[in-house]
Structure 1
Amino acid sequence: MTTRVVVLGAGYAGAGAISKLESELGSDTELVWISDTDYHLVLHEAHRVIRDPGVKSKITIPVEDIKSRSTRFVHDAVADIDTDERVVELEDGDDESYDYLVVGIGSDTATYGIEGMDEHPLTLKGLDDALEIHEQVKEAAQDATREDPAQVVIGGAGLSGIQSAGEVAEFRDRHNAPIDVTLVEALPEIFPPGDSEIQGALRHRLEDAGVDILTDDPITAATEDQLEFDERDALDYDVFLWTGGVTGPAELGEVDLEAEHNRLQAESTLQTEDERVFAVGDCSMISQGDDQSAPPTAQAAWQAADVAAENVAREIEGRPLKSWTYDDQGTLVSIGETAIAHEVQMGGVSAPVRTFNSMPAKVLKKGAAARWIAKITSWSRAMKSWDAL
Structure 2
Amino acid sequence: MTATAPTSDATTGLHKIVIIGGGAGGLELATQLGNKLGKKGKAEITLVDKSRTHIWKPLLHEIAAGSMDTGRHELAYQAQGHWHGFRYRYGEMIGLDRANKRVHLAATHDEDGREITPDRWFPYDTLVIAVGSISNDFGTPGVKEHAITLDTPEQARRFNRRLLNACVRAYAQQGPVRPGQLHVAIIGAGATGSELSAELHHAARGLVDFGLDKIDPENDFKITLIEAAPRILPALPERLSTATTNILKSIGVDVRTGSPVTNVSDQGVTLANGDFIPSELVVWAAGVKGPEVLSKLDGLEVSRSNTLIVRPSLQTTKDDNIFVIGDAAYLVPDGDTAPIPPRAQAAHQQSSHLVRQIQRRMHGETKLAPFKYRDFGSLVSLGKYSTVGNLMGFVSGKSLRIEGWFAKIMYRSLYKMHEVALHGPIKVALDSLARLLTRRTEPQVKLH
TM-score above 0.5: yes
Bigger mean CA offset, 60-69 vs 232-241: 60-69
Displacement after TM superposition at 1:322 (Å): 1.5
Q: Deviations over 1:72-94 (max 9, x none)?
A: 21011212222222111111132
Distance across 1 between alignment mates of 2:196 and 2:266: 21
Matched, 1:112 2:112: no
Residue 133 of structure 1 corresponds to 159
Aligned to 1:379, which of 416, 421, 425?
A: 425
> Highest CA radius of gyration, 1 or 2?
2
Query: Cα deviation per residue 1:9-28 (whole Å; 9 max; x = unaligned)?
Result: 11011112112322454734
1:184 has 2:226 as partner: yes
What secondary structure sits across from 1:356 in the alignment? Answer: strand
State the alpha-carbon separation in 1 of the partners of residues 183 and 423 from structure 2: 40
Provide the C-alpha distance between the structure 1 equivalents of 2:339 and 2:276, rounded to a whole number of angstroms: 36
Q: How does 1:226-237 map to 2 (within 5 A)?
A: 226-237=268-279
Residue from 374, 389, 396 that aligns with 1:327? 374
Q: How does 1:1-389 map to 2 (within 5 A)?
A: 1-25=13-37, 27-52=41-66, 55-67=69-81, 68=83, 70-92=85-107, 93=118, 94-144=120-170, 145=176, 148=179, 150-176=182-208, 177=217, 178-255=220-297, 256-260=299-303, 261-273=305-317, 274-290=319-335, 291-319=337-365, 320-344=367-391, 349=394, 354-383=400-429, 384-385=431-432, 387=436
Instruction: Give me the whole-angstrom Cα distance separating, in 1, the residues matched to 2:221 and 2:424.
Output: 39
- Give the 3 Å change call, closer, same or farther, for CA 97–336 of structure 1 in structure 2: same
In the alignment, is the contact (CA less than 8 A) between 1:65 and 1:377 conserved in 2? no
For 2:66 and 2:141, locate their aligned partners in 1 and report how far apart those are by CA, in whole Å.
Answer: 32
Give the drift of 1:116.
2.2
Q: Secondary structure at the match of 2:32?
A: helix
Gaps of 5+ in 2: 1-12, 108-117, 171-175, 209-216
Contact 1:269–1:307 (CA under 8 A) maintained in structure 2 = no
User: Post-superposition shift, 1:146?
Assistant: 5.8
TM-score by length of 1: 0.92
- 1:355 & 1:232 partners in 2: Cα distance? 37
5+ residue gaps, structure 1:
none
Deviations 1:296-341 (A, max 9, x none): 0111111111112322222222223111121111111111213323
Deviates more, 1:330-339 or 1:349-358: 349-358
Distance 1:55 1:378 in 2: 22
CA 1:44 to 1:263, structure 2 compared with 1: closer, same or farther past 3 Å? same
Structure 2 length-normalised TM: 0.81
Structure 2 vs 1, CA of residues 286 and 103 (structure 1 numbering), >3 Å: closer, same or farther?
A: same
Percentage of matched positions with identical amino acids: 23
Letter of the 1:36 partner, please give it: K
Q: Return the letter of the residue paired with 2:289.
A: T
Residue 214 of structure 1, CA deviation: 0.6
Partner of 1:160: helix, strand, or coil? Answer: helix
In 2 relative to 1, CA 295–83 (structure 1 residues): closer, same or farther, beyond 3 Å? same
CA–CA separation in structure 1 for the residues paired with 2:244 and 2:251: 11
- Distance in 2 (alpha carbons) for counterparts of 1:236 and 1:381: 47
Bigger mean CA deviation after superposition, 246-255 or 355-364? 355-364
The root-mean-square deviation of aligned C-alpha atoms, in Å, is 2.3
In 1, are the aligned partners of 2:15 and 2:125 still within 8 Å (CA)? yes
Report the CA distance between 1:181 and its aligned residue. Answer: 0.5
Shift of residue 374 of structure 1? 1.3
Return 97-106 or 174-183, whichever deviates more. 174-183
Question: Does the 8 Å contact 2:130/2:327 carry over to 1?
Answer: yes
**Number of positions where the alignment pairs a residue of Structure 1 with one of Structure 2:** 387
Q: Residues 252-278 of structure 1, C-alpha deviation per residue, up to 9 Å, x if partnerless? A: 221120012321111121111210000
Q: 2: distance between equivalents of 1:166 and 1:54?
A: 14
Partner AA of 1:287 in structure 2:
V
CA distance in 1, matches of 2:80, 2:129: 18
**Cα distance in 1, alignment partners of residues 125 and 373 from structure 2:** 27
Q: Closer, same or farther in 2 for the Cα pair 1:369/1:8, shift >3 Å? A: same
Deviations 1:150-186 (A, max 9, x none): 1111000001111111111111122234310110000
